[in-house]
Amino acid sequence: MAAYQLAQERLAAEFAARWAATLAAVEAREIAGSLAELEAAYVAAIRESAAVSRTLSVAFYRLVRALETGRVIGGPGYRPASSLGSLWADFNRATGKRTGTGPREPLPVDTRDPFPAADLAREARRAEETFRHQVADRIERHERERPARQGSAALDDAELVAWEKEFLESLKTGSSGAGGMLVQDGGRDAIHAALQDDPGALGYYRKTDASPCYFCALMASRGAVYKSRRTAAFGPHPHCHCQVVPIFSRRYQLPAENDAFARMWKRFGGGSLADWRTYYSTTTKTKT
């Protein structure tokens, strides 16, 4: 599980680095004239990384399912006579690390394909909308403020340079976080959808990163979310690295962090989301 989560986080980080390099190549005072090129680069980077995230998640789902049920599921990437050994090899290749191996005896096959085809039009729309909110709209507001900020100051005025630098850093942080969410959604959405169409799946639990926010900790505290609760959305957010971990047996074991969050929620005793945020922040700060 750790290798899978780290691989997904790495995809988001690689996207962020690629996008940061694109932004760094544009002067702040020229950025408004480069929106078309920036949008094309942003959308392309998200879609390419999301496709890799999806492939990684399919390999992860198929391996976890086989380990828990002793059967292999069909769909993209399936090869006849698949074994635990070949599934581990597929997963290792997708993560870029050798994390496990298994026997080579062919597994029984469930030929059903629960994985939805990538909705490329939807992915493009989401990326374009994110670019508009996180980049284009913010640049437009920035440009409206520029005349008042600049006044008669020279272009190399220290305060003006600092203002431009602060804006670009904020722009990079916001758009990288939102884009990284869409990158990992390529895999999260594939697993979430497959669970609903796989008769062998029971549901999933939320695996957080090392330092989850109050919202992710609350979602993880719920433990397993079963398929009968179809309205239970996963709810990722910008800079979120939580992953969907499918479960196929009642003998699953939650990570220790999920149990800790559940105990914390019980001690909290109820209240508003704002109250929980304060309680969580205070509790985790005290522990550190």
Lowest mean pLDDT among 162-166, 210-214, 266-270: 162-166
Q: 111 with 178, same domain?
A: yes
Tokens of 22: 């694109």
- Residues of the chain above pLDDT 90, percent: 75
Is pLDDT of 29 > 80?
no
If one counts the domains in the chain, the total is 2
Residues 6+ apart with CB under 8 A from 72: 62, 65, 66, 78, 82, 87, 107, 108, 109, 110
Question: What three-state secondary structure class fits 72?
Answer: strand
The residue segments making up the domain with residue 183 are 2-201
Q: How far apart are CA 201 and CA 195, in angstroms?
A: 6
The answer to whether position 15 is within a domain reads: yes
Q: 37 with 158, same domain?
A: yes
Closest-CA residue to 110 (of 61, 143, 157): 61
Q: 74 with 126, same domain?
A: yes
Q: Are strands 243-247 and 225-226 parallel, antiparallel or unpaired?
A: unpaired
Is pLDDT of 138 > 90?
yes
Q: 102 with 191, same domain?
A: yes
Instruction: Calculate the average pLDDT of the chain.
Output: 91
Residue where a domain stops, chosen among 201, 228, 258: 201
Quick: pLDDT tens for 53-78: 999 999 999 999 999 999 999 999 99
Q: How far apart are CA 203 and CA 194, in angstroms?
A: 10
* Residue 205 contacts residue 254 (beta carbons within 8 Å): yes
* Residue 177 contacts residue 239 (beta carbons within 8 Å): yes
The answer to whether position 211 is within a domain reads: no
Residue where a domain stops, chosen among 201, 225, 258: 201
CB-hemisphere CA count at 13 Å for 58? 20
The answer to whether position 209 is within a domain reads: no
Q: 265 with 194, same domain?
A: no
Closest-CA residue to 33 (of 139, 134, 123): 139
pLDDT at residue 228, as a whole number: 67
Query: Residue 205 — pLDDT band, cuts 50, 70, 90?
Result: very high
Q: How far apart are CA 223 and CA 203, in angstroms?
A: 10
Q: 69 with 164, same domain?
A: yes
Q: 78 with 127, same domain?
A: yes
Q: 197 with 235, same domain?
A: no
* Residue 189 contacts residue 21 (beta carbons within 8 Å): no
The answer to whether position 208 is within a domain reads: no
Q: How far apart are CA 90 and CA 92, in angstroms?
A: 6
The answer to whether position 207 is within a domain reads: no
Residues 6+ apart with CB under 8 A from 18: 45
Cα of first residue to Cα of last residue in the chain, in angstroms, is: 25
